[in-house]
Amino acid sequence: MPAQSREVRLASRPQGEPSLNNFSFATAEVRDPNPGEVLVRNVCISVDPYMRGRMNDSKSYIPPFQIGQPLEGGAIGRVIASQDERLLATAKAAMLRA
């Protein structure tokens, strides 16, 4: 069941307030889950104030976002494929780290 995903990536480090120019959008291939893994389709992604600090390349309690890499954050999603016997594909995933 190979599929595609849309990603929001950090394109450059903002100077002041972030703008669309600081981000890029990409399509990535998604592989089938391996044993013990699940594939989740995000429904909602949280955008939190701490994420602005991660756009800077400075030491903090959490690593900065990397240029050209997808942004990470909390999400709510639906399991669409599962290779983990503890989580069925019909289950709703409550809070995940995207």
Give the start-to-end residue ranges of the domains of the chain.
Answer: 3-97
Amino acid 91: pLDDT: 56
* Structural element, H or E, at residue 38: strand 38-45
Per-state percent for the chain, helix, strand, coil, to nearest 5 = 10, 40, 50
State the pTM of this model.
Answer: 0.77
Give ∠ CA 11-13-15 in degrees, rounded to 5.
135
Instruction: Say whether pLDDT at 70 is over 80.
Output: yes
Residue range 32-37: average pLDDT?
Answer: 93
Strand 3-10 vs strand 23-30: parallel, antiparallel, or unpaired?
antiparallel
pLDDT at 52: 94
pLDDT band at 86 (very low <50, low <70, confident <90, very high): confident
Looking at CATH, the fold of the domain delimited by 3-97 is given as: Quinone Oxidoreductase; Chain A, domain 1 (3.90.180)
**CA-based torsion, 65, 50, 79, 43: positive or negative:** negative
